[in-house]
Amino acid sequence: MIFEKIVILSGIILAHILNGSNLFDFGPEIKPDFMILLILFFSLRKGEMAGLWVGFIGGLLSDAGLGGEEGTGGKIYYKIGVHSLSFSIIGYLLGKFGRSFYNENYISITIYAFGVTLLMRALTYTLFSFFFYNNLNYSLFICSIYNAVLAPLTFFVLSWTYKLQPSEGLR
Amino acid sequence: MLWDRIQQLSEILSLLFCIGFSIVSLVWNSNLVVKTVASSQKAVDVITSSVDSAGGIFSRVYQRIQSNDALRKERDSYAKLVDEYKIYSHDNKILLNENINLRKDLEFQPKIDYPTTRAEVLSVRLNSIYRTIVINKGKADKIYPFMPVISRAVNESGDIIPAIVGKVIASNSSSAVVQPIINSNFNMGVQVEGGSLWAILSGNSGRGTYVILNFLDSGVIINPKLYSQIGPVLADENGLEKVGIAGREIYSSNGGGVFPAGLPIGVIVEEGPRAGSFKTAYVKPYVKFDELNYVTIIKKLPDKWVEDWPEEKNITIENPFYGELNFPGEEPESKQTSKDQKLTVLKPQVSEQRDISKKPMSNSPTPTPKKQEVMKKMPLLDEDDEDVLRKLEGNSP
């Protein structure tokens, strides 16, 4: 049980590391978001609680990656909470309601990956605009398309790594 | 019983915890838990850089083998050149002095002369909502927030130049976070090449890795068509430099006191959306952020802000002249000055406090012969500069 959680946590950290590296980049603007694909995978395969917690922890790591910014009086301001909120909510809702419409095939995975990436990034963008300022540089569509392309391969690798078959998580 | 009840409610409790924690962290974003979570990034960044290094090891080995021979030949040719240039060392000194004098005469900005430190890039997060670069130098290497960060880049002419990457926004003992110029919250004052045109550069361009120039005068022409057809035109005999500013370089202006003046940033590529009565223009930065491996930090702390100007050094002008002109021969209506006519002016350029009303020109005593001599030598001084004149005469009180 604990070993399983440690392996899942390792996957979250690996996804975060891959997001910070340039191994899968096509130029400065075309980058994937592996964290969203991981949350999508666990939400669809293991259900809403896995989606919620993987989303929350993965979101916290992503928020930590935004770094702090020194403000007046040497006080450092962080942006913790943006990704954790959006990822955990979408992960939970996806595990709760999204599985009934999901069929395990390449087209379905691709469509889900595109839609969920777009939704998660749109929610993150909205939260950031609400709590901080309007950010025009956040890529919504390019990242979603790239994630959709990478999703079948990622699902295959994750299914093999975690030994989770499509029917396993379904009630 | 209670445990069963908790088990039943575990789903809703988990959901409430996740949402509650996130919202509390967003609202109260400098509490201890948030700081702890944020500090976990430091460990992850070290692993990220290791993954990057491992991934790029094969391509680097191949590139290094290829470039090794070329570099050897280049080294031999440069060694010969160095021997030749040693002969001209004396001429160099003369030229250097001449250059300094010319810079003074032409009021050029002096060359940047600050200590620098090279740092390795640990991670470049361009895909995140708040773009950052993490480097492996921190407070232990005397890296502090607001220090400018530059990197080697290639300009439009193919020359290798030091171009602005961004500025340090936070640092801990062994790493620092750099805010790149393409960060949506980045702003700095810039100057356009070849003219007295200033603007504000913002990273919130909404266009990938481009940045945007805001507050450009509406009379400025930005001509992308001309630029794309004939390339960057700065000046020629036909006066094409007047047509548009597309293709011109932009430099730091030191308006904000963070970046030294004259550091190149990028080149103007096309006109942006109009912002009220101002124009905007997109700028392509010289730095390729996705290929950054090393950066250089200029160890320059921000200049003193105007707010630091001590209040006692403000100039107080009593009886400011707002009314009608008093022609020669006419007496002013009242010599009494009311308190509400006092005007306080901030003037940081003047280093001495002056009360103009106390020493009107007409009532000033006749200057001594020595004072007249000093005033002839320094025509910018007037008779009111009593303190300066006293010091020059050697009569300081």
Beta bridge partners of A76: A70
User: What is the sign of the dihedral through the CA atoms of A79, A84, A86 and A87?
Assistant: positive
A 1-40 → B contacts, CB under 8 A: 13, 16-23, 25, 27-29, 31-33
State residue B380's pLDDT score. Answer: 45
Q: Would you call A81 and B126 a contact, using CB atoms and an 8 Å cutoff?
A: no
State residue B224's pLDDT score. Answer: 52
Residue B325, SS3 per DSSP: coil
Contact B29, A78 (CB under 8 A): yes
CATH class of the domain whose range is A33-162: mainly alpha
String of DSSP letters for B351-375: -S---GGGS-GGGPPPPPHHHHHHH
Select from B123, B120, B118 the least CA-distant residue to B43: B123
List of chain B residues whose C-beta atoms are within 8 Å of the C-beta of residue A123: none
Structure tokens that stand for A147 in this block: 């994630």
User: What is the sign of the dihedral through the CA atoms of B12, B18, B19 and B23?
Assistant: positive
CA-CA distance, B83 to B88, in Å (whole number)? 10
What average pLDDT score do residues A6-27 get?
84
Q: Which of A28, A59, A79 sits opposite B126 (nearest CB)?
A: A28
Confidence band, pLDDT 50/70/90 cuts, at residue A135: confident
Contact A100, A146 (CB under 8 A): no
* Complete domains list, chain B, with CATH: 11-55 (no CATH), 110-298 (2.40.10.350), 307-322+341-393 (no CATH)
B 2-31 → A contacts, CB under 8 A: 10-11, 14-15, 18-19, 21-27, 29-30
State residue B286's pLDDT score. Answer: 92
State residue B105's pLDDT score. Answer: 66
Q: Would you call B38 and A77 a contact, using CB atoms and an 8 Å cutoff?
A: no
CA-CA distance, B148 to B171, in Å (whole number)? 13
Q: Which of A21, A79, A85 sits opposite B55 (nearest CB)?
A: A21
Greater model confidence, B134 or A171: B134
Contact B298, B203 (CB under 8 A): no
State residue B397's pLDDT score. Answer: 39
Which H helix or E strand runs over B120? strand B116-125
CA-CA distance, A48 to A93, in Å (whole number)? 7
A 52-81 → B contacts, CB under 8 A: 52-53, 55-56, 59-70, 75-81
Residue B330, SS3 per DSSP: coil
Select from A96, A95, A98 the least CA-distant residue to A111: A98
Q: How far is residue B251 from each of residues B166, B190, B241, measured CA to CA in Å? A: 13, 5, 18
Tell me which amino acid residue B52 is.
Answer: D
State residue B323's pLDDT score. Answer: 46
Residue-wise pLDDT tens for chain B (397 aa)?
A: 677 777 778 888 999 999 998 888 888 876 777 777 777 776 776 666 666 666 566 666 766 777 787 788 888 888 888 877 777 777 777 787 787 777 666 655 445 678 888 898 888 888 888 888 888 888 889 998 889 999 988 887 777 888 999 999 888 888 888 999 999 889 898 988 876 788 899 998 888 889 998 888 877 777 655 544 545 444 444 544 455 777 888 998 877 788 888 889 999 888 888 888 888 899 999 998 888 888 999 998 887 654 555 666 666 655 544 444 455 555 555 444 444 444 443 333 333 333 333 333 434 445 555 555 655 554 444 444 555 455 545 544 3
Tens of pLDDT, residue by residue over A66-96, are: 877 776 666 777 888 899 999 999 999 999 9
List of chain A residues whose C-beta atoms are within 8 Å of the C-beta of residue B207: 137
Interface test with A, best of B16, B18, B29, B175 (most A CBs within 10 A): B18
CA-CA distance, A13 to A10, in Å (whole number)? 5
Contact B183, B203 (CB under 8 A): yes
State residue A88's pLDDT score. Answer: 95
State residue B376's pLDDT score. Answer: 54
Residue B19, SS3 per DSSP: helix
Structure tokens that stand for B301 in this block: 């702390």
State residue B182's pLDDT score. Answer: 92
- ipTM reported for the complex surpasses 0.90: no
Residue A81 carries which DSSP code? T
